[in-house]
Amino acid sequence: MNLMLNVYRFVKLITVMKTNIVKYCKLPFTFSVDILQQEVMSIETQQWKSHYNTMNYEGDWSAIPLLALDGNTENIHATHSDSAIPLEYKPTTYLDKCPGVNDVLRSFQCELRSVRLMNLTSGAIIKEHSDYQLSYEEGEVRIHIPIITNPFVEFYVEKECVVMNEGECWYLNLSLPHRVHNLGTTNRVHLVIDAVVNPWLISVIESSEKVCVEVNKKEKFDKETLSNIIHELVLQDTETSRSLARSLQTQLDEHSTNNE
């Protein structure tokens, strides 16, 4: 009986654990937006590229790539850190024409990946979604700096509205469900920076006032240990042991599949 109780506790432990993650935080930087706004306004309307996730929004959501894969001015995709292909983000010709933005980027003492200007026009909606593996805890963050905004932009991260003012610098955990609605009469343009977590960025985020949220986390486990437990449960040949063995075998199979 004690053996079965211990196995049950082990199953619960490796199945789900509670952990706190950073939901969002305002970073200790503020940038003057005057020059940045001038640079945004100098971009011709036809140069903005419509966002590729057309199912995720209504209205007009578009981007200008500033750092893009191979410096391609047509590529607004943001490929994340789990890619098997080495990522080489290079400045585009758009960035060459934006010295003010360049000054902002030099403030970040970490590897930068995709950097874009993101324009959400008046009335447009970004539907609720989550961005895969885009969080501080997973090693890559997305930082938002509002350049042009208005008081009627609603940016929700997990049902909480985060108010971001022009020139402020925010980390948002976008692996959590989030959505945006521009209810104002003007466009909303953010400088959106994807950055790799390093000691400098850890120091910045840890020294900032953070809002955290508790989530379920699947704990990593030792496959050999788990296989041995499954074997012992099968040998016991009771209804409870067989049920636990099936549950553990499912987890083991999922673990193997997810790592192929």
Q: Per residue in 124-163, pLDDT tens?
A: 999 999 987 889 998 999 999 999 999 999 999 999 999 9
- Which residue has tokens 């437990």? 229
Number of independent structural domains in the chain: 2
**Residue 136, CA distances (Å) to 25, 111, 114, 200, 246 in order:** 11, 14, 16, 13, 34
Residues 8 and 47 in one domain: no
Residues 135 and 52 in one domain: yes
Q: Which residue would you say has higher pLDDT here, 102 or 228?
A: 102
Task: Return all residues near 107 (Cβ < 8 A) that are at least 6 apart.
Answer: 29, 31
- Token pair, residue 11, equals 């199953």
pLDDT per residue over 191-229, tens digit each?
Answer: 999 999 999 999 999 999 999 998 776 544 456 666 777
Q: Which residue would you say has higher pLDDT here, 89 or 81?
A: 89
Give mean pLDDT, residues 177-187.
97
- Write the secondary structure of 7-27 as one string of H (helix), E (strand) and C (coil): HHHHHHHHHCEEEEEEEEEEE
**Residue 24, CA distances (Å) to 135, 136, 170 in order:** 10, 10, 7
Residue 252 has pLDDT above 70, yes or no: no
- Length, in residues, of the chain: 260
Report how many helices (DSSP H) and strands (DSSP E) the chain contains, helices first: 7, 14
**Residue 183, CA distances (Å) to 170, 178, 203 in order:** 21, 16, 35
- Token pair, residue 257, equals 């599949």
- The CA dihedral of 35, 43, 74, 184, to the nearest 10 degrees, is 90
| Residue that finishes a domain, picked among 180, 195, 215 | 215
Residues 124 and 248 in one domain: no
Q: What is the pLDDT of residue 2?
A: 47
Q: What letter would DSSP give residue 85?
A: S
- Give percent above pLDDT 70 in the chain: 82
- Write the secondary structure of 42-61 as one string of H (helix), E (strand) and C (coil): CCCHHHCEECCCHHHEECCE
Residues 153 and 44 in one domain: yes
What is the pLDDT of the chain when averaged over all its residues?
Answer: 86
Residue 81 has pLDDT above 80, yes or no: no
| 135-144, 159-168, 237-246: segment of lowest average pLDDT | 237-246
Residues 122 and 62 in one domain: yes
Residues 27 and 113 in one domain: yes
Residues 208 and 230 in one domain: no
Q: What is the pLDDT of residue 62?
A: 97
CATH of the domain at 188: 2.60.120.330
| Domain around 232 | 2-16+220-258
Residues 140 and 30 in one domain: yes
Question: What pTM does this model have?
Answer: 0.77
Beta-carbon count within 10 A of 244 CB: 21
Q: What is the pLDDT of residue 260?
A: 40
Residues 192 and 248 in one domain: no
Q: What is the pLDDT of residue 245?
A: 77
- Token pair, residue 151, equals 């008081």
Give mean pLDDT, residues 236-246.
74
Give mean pLDDT, residues 118-127.
98
- The CA dihedral of 154, 136, 91, 178, to the nearest 10 degrees, is -20
Residues 177 and 228 in one domain: no
Q: What is the pLDDT of residue 147?
A: 98
Res. 12 pLDDT band, cuts 50 70 90: very low
Residues 189 and 251 in one domain: no
Q: What is the pLDDT of residue 255?
A: 53
Residues 234 and 205 in one domain: no
pLDDT per residue over 23-39, tens digit each?
Answer: 999 999 999 999 999 99
Q: Bridge-partner residues for 142, per DSSP?
A: 172, 194
Q: What is the pLDDT of residue 242?
A: 77
Give mean pLDDT, residues 74-85.
70
CA distance 79 to 68: 10
CA distance 259 to 159: 32
- Which residue has tokens 């874009």? 116
Residue 168 has pLDDT above 80, yes or no: yes
Residue 247 has pLDDT above 90, yes or no: no
State whether residue 36 is helix, strand or coil: helix
